[in-house]
Chains A and B, each alone.
Chain A
Amino acid sequence: MKFVDEFRDAELGRVLAGEILAAVEPGRHYKVMEVCGGHTHSIYKYGIDDLLPANVELVHGPGCPVCVIPMGRVDDAIAMARRPGLIFTCFGDMMRVPGSDGTLLDAKAQGADIRMVYSPLDALRIAKRHPDREVVFFAIGFETTAPSTALTLRRARAEGVANFSCFCNHVTIVPPLRALLDSPDLRLDGFIGPGHVSTVVGARPFEFIPAAYAKPVVVSGFEPVDILQSVLMILRQLSEGRCEVENQYRRVVPYEGNLRALEVMAEVFELRPHFEWRGLGFISHSGLKLSEAYADLDAERRFAVPGVRVADPKACQCGEVLKGVIKPFECKVFGTACTPERPIGTCMVSSEGACAAYYNFGRFAREREVV
């Protein structure tokens, strides 16, 4: 398929790997963070790690929206889903995220009407088919997904679907990046910027990283050739003493973003004063809630939820993984007590989570190293 196949070209990948090898300074160790879980998944799936020199280390960032949802919000979702007569809709991965007392999937097995959807529009369709029942959509995701929720809420309003509401857990990417950059235990040389978030917000919001923290950012696509080229662009910035935001993903990302998407988000959402991120704690102005204009479609206002903060399990080191402080395999429970089949931490749930990606693909490379 056009726009896919040419960016998976193995020969081009090998050429880029050679150029990366030529661009590194011997004796220098490079740490580059891929912000986005989609990149993490691609890196392990295509074995991109294996093509990089040993002194170029990819560090996995906090950009998996499933992985950053704290347990208390899952508990709130389950409490809503258990209400008699209510239909609770959510994306597939969220159904397997453990709360303090089980998952949404467990609640479904116990009789709650929980349905997996592929889009908010699917959830709205269910609401229209069941006008006698309340239908809640569990909205998660960064700025990539938020416009989709916003458009659906606008559509629900226009079509007068009164039994539809949204449990909003959308988050924004810049505040956690700032928190990471302010973290004293993290040393990074550059960032592979999130490609599809940038389709919406553009590349401009990342300009503070070179300006205030002197780190290069390259907004990247998700195919192997995209990621290799982005690594090369970061290394070239470093070797040439440059520090700026570059856009490798120009075929999709306009520097200014998608103005229509930003407009509908501004209409439907407003920033929360603070929002809890799993492993990262509370971060100011990092989460979205429904604006006053859409308050009547806000499930948190329509239904009472426990709203209790729940601490992560002690054995779980998702926080350190999300900050890139440790590798997934360095977590005490990785691959033993915590597996994709029985996850303890969220990073093991979603295929975009660093631990699940590493479990599914990366550990084989490690086994080769060990042997």
Chain B
Amino acid sequence: MSCEAGHCITCGDDGVPMHVVRVDPVRGLALCEDEGGARSTVEVGLVDARPGDTLLVHAGTALARLATAAAAPA
């Protein structure tokens, strides 16, 4: 998981979108990839994750699955 310049993702009320590459349902873990292509193992016990999903990840844990129908921004 990468940090934006000067921005620590492990702190603050912060989350990053990551794509699910592979899911290990037995262990409740998934291999995920961030915007910059960096891969890491993510806890997916709190969401229903499938390969191809985009998850909101904070401190190594997926907190939400981002809906495909995003709320209109204006």
Contacts and interface: CB of A to CB of B under 8 A. Distances in A.
A92 interface: yes
A251 B7 CA distance: 23
B64 A258 contact: yes
Interface in A40-78: 41, 45, 63-66
B13 A142 contact: yes
B73 A12 contact: yes
B7 A351 contact: yes
Interface residues of A, number: 65
Given A93-B8, A225-B74, A151 B43 contact: yes
A286 interface: no
Contacts of B10: 91-93, 117-119, 145
Contacts of A36: 12-13
A38 B67 CA distance: 22
B47 to A, nearest CB: 8
A38 B12 contact: yes
Contact of B63 (A94, A118, A199): A199
B74 A229 contact: yes
Interface residues on chain B, size class:
20 to 34
Given A196-B63, A264-B45, A15 B74 contact: yes
Interface string A1-32: 11110110100100110000000000000000
A119 B8 contact: no
A253 B46 CA distance: 14
Contact of B59 (A37, A141, A197): A141
Given A251-B66, A351-B7, A64 B74 contact: no
Contacts of B58: 144-145, 148, 196
B60 to A, nearest CB: 2
13 contacts: A15-B74, A41-B12, A66-B11, A144-B15, A144-B63, A147-B63, A148-B58, A225-B73, A248-B71, A249-B71, A260-B46, A264-B45, A352-B13
Interface of B: 1, 6-15, 17, 28, 35, 40-41, 43, 45-47, 54, 56, 58-61, 63-64, 66-67, 70-71, 73-74
Given A12-B74, A147-B46, A195-B13, 15 more contacts: A4-B17, A36-B12, A119-B43, A121-B60, A148-B60, A196-B14, A196-B56, A199-B15, A200-B63, A222-B14, A249-B71, A252-B64, A253-B64, A258-B47, A258-B64
